[in-house]
Structure 1
Amino acid sequence: MKSKNSFLMTPIDWLLLISLSILWGGSFFFNRIAVTELPPFVIVTSRVSIGSVFLLFFVHVKKQKLPRSIGIWSQLIFMGLVNNVIPFSLIVWGQTSIASGLASILNATTPLFTILIAHLFTPDEKITIHKAIGLIVGFIGVFLVIGPTALSIADITPQLAVLTATCSYAIAGVFGRRFHTLGLDPLVTATGQVISSTAILVPITLLTNYSFLRQATTSLPVFGSLIGLGLFSTAIAYTIYFLLLSRVGATNLLLVTFLIPITAMVLGVAFFNERIVTRQVIGMLIVFTGIIASNRRCHHQE
């Protein structure tokens, strides 16, 4: 096990972390462009398909091999479902109605839901007093972010869709810990789950959007956004994520949660004239306070 000092972040680690936040924050920007012309399933399927191609290339370059066990692939399929298919689809659908900055703030609540899921399904990560306080504070922030739209079903439904996506991410985060014990290279795990996501989404997209696909034409900006989602926000982002995980540990990597909404909001304001609502910013800060409180650890635990 690495000592605490081995997880001290170097300037290179900080550069990688900021890069990752830009890549993942950029996914909300790319989604915002793509939803102007394409249905959600087409966007998500394009993202994971393009991501699969590049991840397979990275696996080839690293001379890794994909698993052949049916048991492992069944777990990768489930991981692809809860870590890609469900959350990507819900977030893209939500972004047909809400701003990219707001979607990114709601997405940042993933660590809060991870604590709840871990409490329910793991024997050694039960909710403690400081975690409970952090959860309460965090969800107060969520209610503030949602604000008056909670009174309207039409307005709150897209936001609840994004929150449901974060629950799915939380399930994936807890379930995905088992892959470390299987001896799989993290890049292989990421590639397997994205390939599985593609296999799930392609037939769904063909069934639900066949007429659209037969006559669809895509503008250059939308086509570029799909490449951006697949290459930058999926393939390259996953590669950086797993590199950082091995270099700085999961606790330090949690910092990316705080940076993603900043990237998404800046891009939203700069390119789409989205408004930054004071209530949402305050709510975001409260959510972050809850996340920090719920993830506070003693030195000997790190």
Structure 2
Amino acid sequence: MNKQKLLIILAFFSIYFVWGSTYLFNKIAVSELPPLFLAAIRFSMAGILILVIAKLLKKSIKITRQQFLNSTIAGFLFLVYGNGVFVWALKYVDTGFAALLASTQPLFVLFLLRLIDGKKMQKKSIIGVGLGLLGMYLLVSQKTIATSEGMVLGIFMMLSCVLSWSYGSVFVSKADLPKNFLVSTGYQMFISSVLLIFCSLAFKEDISTIKTISYKVQMAVVFLILFGSIVAFTAFNYLLKVVSPEKVSTSAYVNPVVALFLGWYFLDEKLTNQSIIATFVLLTGVYFITSRKRIAKQKVRPSQKT
């Protein structure tokens, strides 16, 4: 096996299993840390490390005023609202459910492209949308959800986060941002961390809890910073250069399966028959959407990763 093949295998492992496991580690972390403060810690450390890596690779980290403004907007859509609020909602929603809701991002992007650019849907896209909507209905219509305190609110907020992430995907495809992905990502993460600190203070989160967090939560935060934010994202961008976008997009329907299994195994989350059917229907819909021909011509960010 040559070096490139090995790198491709490791990169796919990262976007499949590392990103899929971030739901579990975020769930563990928010059990002791305020969600917005957690996101601020994660993205400040990751953003600084990424910019340092870019500097070591002799990449210019200078950006224009417009690029800074666009990075702020993108960071808010992706990381402040799209991720910060999503992690907050994990207090009420199981990790498997959360991952499945996040996997609907291609569906939201399709709707936004239709609404904003007036792009017509292909037959595969229409089938995918139909299956996606059916899968979401089967997922959220279960009686156990209606009777669970806070779960309906959590699901609603997560869907709004997916919408925010999807609009961010469309925005980034047209915005003036730093050409180097490390520089662009580093600025988005660092700017978002500053905004998240202000949000955390505004909502009066108890940040003093960081003094008493357990070793398990400490390790979860380290994993999210090093592997969830840096390794997996770098792997994603590497794969976009060496394999087709269609193959990279398969993470959209592998991540939920990983999250479902990990949530069931480590957190004793229940997996009903209706949830299993909903998973199959929803992910089939995502497959039809992401396998359409037009995807190779669009610059769209990956499904939401927590």
Structure 1: segments with no counterpart, 5+ residues: 1-8
Say how many residue pairs are matched. 292
Give the whole-Å Cα distance in 2 for the aligned partners of 1:84 and 1:131.
Answer: 27
Aligned CA distance change for structure 1 residues 228 and 11 (closer, same or farther; 3 Å): closer
Instruction: Tell me the distance in 2 between the aligned counterparts of 1:229 and 1:89.
Output: 13
TM-score (norm 1): 0.87
User: How far apart are the structure 2 equivalents of 1:107 and 1:298?
Assistant: 22
Residue aligning to 2:134: 140
Q: Deviations over 1:100-157 (max 9, x none)?
A: 111111111111111111212235x433343223211111001111122564684311
Match of 1:55 in 2: 50
Per mean C-alpha deviation after superposition, the further-off stretch among 79-88 and 216-225 is 216-225
How big is the shift at 1:76? Answer: 0.6
Q: For the Cα contact (< 8 Å) 1:42–1:209, is it kept in 2?
A: no
CA RMSD of aligned residues (A): 2.5
Q: Which moved more, 1:128-137 or 1:78-87?
A: 128-137
Give the Cα–Cα distance (whole angstroms) in 2 for the partners of residues 277 and 63 of structure 1. 51
Q: Which residue of 2 aligns with 1:156?
A: 152
Q: Tell me the equivalent position of 1:271.
A: 266
Identity of aligned residues (%): 23
Residues 246 and 93 of structure 1, relative CA distance in 2, 3 Å threshold: same
List aligned pairs for 1:80-159, cutoff 5 A: 80-122=75-117, 125-149=119-143, 151=146, 154-159=150-155
- CA shift, 1:33, in A, is 0.8
Alpha-carbon offset, residue 282 of structure 1:
1.4
Superposition map of 1:149-298 within 5 A? 149=143, 151=146, 154-178=150-174, 184-209=179-204, 211-213=206-208, 216-298=211-293
- Relative to 1, partners in 2 of residues 1:113 and 1:263: Cα closer, same or farther, differing over 3 Å? same
- C-alpha separation between the residues in 2 aligned to 1:81 and 1:62? 27
Change (3 A) 1:219 1:250: same
Given that 1:22 and 1:260 are in contact with CA atoms closer than 8 Å, whether structure 2 keeps it comes out as: yes
- Structure 2: how far apart are the matches of 1:162 and 1:202? 21
The CA distance in 2 between the partners of 1:266 and 1:93, in whole Å, is 21
Contact 1:54 1:231 (8 Å CA) reproduced: no
TM-score normalised to structure 2 length: 0.86
Q: Secondary structure at the match of 2:159?
A: helix
Whole-angstrom CA distance in 2 between matches of 1:50 and 1:238: 15
Which blocks of at least 5 consecutive residues in structure 2 are unaligned?
A: 298-306
Deviations 1:159-214 (A, max 9, x none): 122222111111121112135x7560122211121112112112222343465438
Residues 271/297 of structure 1: CA separation in 2 closer, same or farther (3 Å cut): closer
CA distance in 2, matches of 1:270, 1:215: 27
Q: Secondary structure at the match of 1:176?
A: helix
Distance (whole Å) between structure 2 residues aligned to residue 215 and residue 186 of structure 1:
31
Shift of 1:263: 1.8
Equivalence map 1:60-79=2 (5 Å)? 60-79=55-74
Q: Which residue of 2 aligns with 1:3?
A: none
The residue type paired with residue 281 of structure 2 is I
Q: SS of 2:243's equivalent?
A: helix
Q: Please give the secondary structure, in 2, of the residue aligned with 1:126.
A: coil
Deviation (angstroms), 1:215: 7.7
Counterpart residue type for residue 197 of structure 1: S
Q: Letter of the 2:125 partner, please give it.
A: K
* Residue in 1 that maps onto 2:14: 19
Letter matched to residue 134 of structure 1: G
In structure 1, C-alpha distance between the alignment counterparts of 2:12 and 2:112, rounded to whole Å: 25
Quote the offset at 1:11 in angstroms.
Answer: 6.2
Q: Match of 1:135, as an amino acid?
A: V
